[in-house]
Amino acid sequence: MRFEKKVVVVTGGATGIGRAAAEIFAAEGASIVIAGRSEERGSKALTEIAASGGRALFVKTDISSEADVKELMRKTLDAFGSIDVLVNNASSFIFKSVDATVEEWREILGVNVIGTALCSRYAVEAMKTRGGGSIVNVSSISAHIAQPGLLTYNTTKAAISEMTRCLALDLAPYGIRVNSVSPGYILTEHQEGKIRSMGLTIGEAQVSWGGLHILKRMGTPKEAAAAIAFLASEEASFITGTDLFVDGGYLAL
C-alpha cells in the first residue's frame, strides 16, 4: 500500500486520466479529494470509489478561480488533516491557432497555466507543514512538438512542463518533489467524444491516431495514471524536475 495514510488531491479527477489516478491512489490506501466542475461526474466517481472500499471527497472547483482553489484546500484539510500529493490534471481543451480570440486565450491560460500554479501554491502551504510532499503535473506530448491548429493547447502544455522544472528547483528545500507526465494519445471519454464527432469509429482512430506511436495504439487512462502514481510514490524519491513520456514511443520517432 504505497499511499496508506496519505491524502491526495486530484484536479479533474472525475473523468479520464484523473479518474484513473484517483482510483489507483484510493486502491493503494490514500484518502482522495477530487476537484472538478461537474457535480454529477464527481458524485459518480465518489460512489464507485467508495464501492471499492476507498475514502474520497468531491469538491466542486474551478481551478482558474483563486477563491475556489483556496476553498478546495481548506475542505481537504478539514476532512483529512493534510495534503501529501497534488495531481494537477484538470485541463481546458481549446484547439485554436492564430484565430484564437482573447477570451479563448484567457480561458485556456486560466485553467491550464494559472490554475495549475494556484493549486500548487495553496497545496504547497500545507505540504510545508508536513515536511514534504509530491506534485505531479499532467502535461502532454504537445508540449514538445508543433502540431497544426493547436497553438493554444500546445503553448499552455509547454508552460506546464517549464513550470514543473521551476517548481522542482524552488520547492526542493522543503522536501517537495515536482514532476510531470506527458501522455500521447490516451483513449479517454473526451477523446472518444472527439473521435465520434469526426465521424470515426474507435477502431479507425486506433489505426490513424494509434499508428502515430511506436506501439501502434493509443494508451489507456490507467496506463497514464500508473505513471502518475509512480512519480508520486516513494519509489520515485530521487526523481524531481522530470517529465516522463507516457506516449507509446511517439516522441522517439
Domain boundaries, the chain: 7-184+220-248, 186-218
Q: What are the pLDDT tens digits along the chain (253 aa)?
A: 899 999 999 999 999 999 999 999 999 999 999 999 999 999 999 999 999 999 999 999 999 999 999 999 999 999 999 999 999 999 999 999 999 999 999 999 999 999 999 999 999 999 999 999 999 999 999 999 999 999 999 999 999 999 999 999 999 999 999 999 999 999 998 889 889 999 999 999 999 999 999 999 999 999 999 999 999 999 999 999 999 999 999 999 8
What stretches of 13-79 adopt beta strand conformation (E)? 31-36, 55-60
Residue whose C-alpha is closest to residue 243's, from 180, 176, 192:
180
In order, the DSSP letters of 146-198 are: --TT-HHHHHHHHHHHHHHHHHHHHHGGGTEEEEEEEE-SB--HHHHHHHHHT
Among this protein's residues, is 250 annotated catalytic? no
Distance separating alpha carbons of residues 33 and 189, to the nearest angstrom: 21
Q: Choose the catalytic residue: 153, 174, 185, 250.
A: 153
CA distance linking residue 246 with residue 230, whole number of Å: 12
What is the spatial distance between Cα 181 and Cα 229, in angstroms, rounded to a whole number? 10
Q: Does domain 7-184+220-248 have CATH number 3.40.50.720?
A: yes
pLDDT at 73: 98
Give the span between the Cα atoms of 112 and 39, in whole angstroms.
Answer: 20
Please indicate, yes or no, whether the overall pTM of this predicted structure exceeds 0.85: yes
